[in-house]
Structure 1
Amino acid sequence: MGFAQGCSAHETAKRLFRVAVLAGVLTALLACGDEPDPSVPEMPGVVAQSRSKMTAAPPTAAAERAQPAPACPSQRFDAFLKAFANSADLQVAFSLHPVRHKYPYYWKHNTPPGDPAHPKWVVDEEAGPARVKYRYDAASDRFVWSGKTLRAGQRWLSLQANETDVSYAALPDFRIRRVSDTQYDVEYDQSDVDTYELSSGCWHFAQRWEREAIVECKWPEECRRQREYEAPMR
């Protein structure tokens, strides 16, 4: 019995010793995992820069391009129009969104022009901004028609600087008409009218109206004659 008990106690001691050794090895391995690898050089600047990039979001391209909105050029409509006609930025900033486009009903629906069974006009909403075709030439103190569309950010300066002999035309019928305290109409030829409305403390381009005399004809005889001869707008 004494020898058996001695053997049993010896085997138990050996098992406990093995367990202790394994526990020590595991503890050492875990400790090594927390330490940096000496074979890889540490680069504090790179690490700090990487962490900085992760925490600080770079500015977006849109934010970098953002510019302050232009101020209202004038509360007086005549002065406002001179500046607005010559500046792409002002045309973007001071156009209603959307703008309205008014034109003959029969253009869109292919109905007989002047037929009283149908409306005379149709009004569609279109994405802005306005791109007006008239410019103000300070040297001659007049508005002229321009065949060139303003590029984004462009400011038209003068006939001499921006036009050629064949890229513009006189506008003998150009007229500014005050409709009310909050509306002006600009008639720049016999068939086109632009409407400006006072909104948010400044004038804004609101509507382009393309007219035709035949829309106002007396049905049916006069309308038929005008379809044949295309009488001009009176």
Structure 2
Amino acid sequence: MELTNAVAVVTGANRGLGRHLAAQLIERGAKVYAAARNPQSIDLPGAIPLRLDVTDPASVAEAAATAADATLVINNAGAATGQDLLGGDLDLIRAELETNYFGPLAVTRAFTPVIESNGGGAVLNVLSVLSWLHPGGFGAYSATKAAAWALTNATREQLAPKGITVTALHVGYMDTDMAAFVPADQKVDPATVAKLALDGIAAGAAEVLADDVSRQVKAGLSA
């Protein structure tokens, strides 16, 4: 997909990886709707703030109507509450599923006819190395990302005939607020991850493995 003159919707664009993705898309010549639950939190020059709560069906529908010229959707908004599956708070586990699985599903469903009517385009789903690796302490988050990986693979097949490619981005720890507890030498630069992701979209890649951890774990699946 040619990113120059693309029209992108980036969820969770107010900080972290989402902000880097939005900023780099603007640098590449794209029009960018920077989506967040609070659009006033968007401070990125050149971006169009867009109110979007991925857990609210009415908000998703309104965003799709507003960004009716979209050709690219990046499902980046995410939540991590640190719950394990046996002893964790079920309400928090459900909240993670709402944001990390049902959120991308709702956004993809809403924007599919939009992108198709604009001649096709792409979807990027921000996943994780925990799509494949499921440590007990991160059980809830891992389950949401495994489900989102299945969502990505299934919708890739369904959207291909509509001229819409679907790319999965897998990465371990990034230097963002969500991974503030992780030592610096174990985290990668989100700006680098954003570049790799956008290069993958441009190339029509099915999958982008953005760090050594993701590459090693993916290779280990076949072992």
Q: Normalising to structure 1: TM-score of the pair? A: 0.20
Higher relative contact order (CA 8 A, sep 6+): 2
Which of the pair is proportionally richer in strand? 1
Q: Normalising to structure 2: TM-score of the pair? A: 0.21
Structure with greater Cα Rg = 1
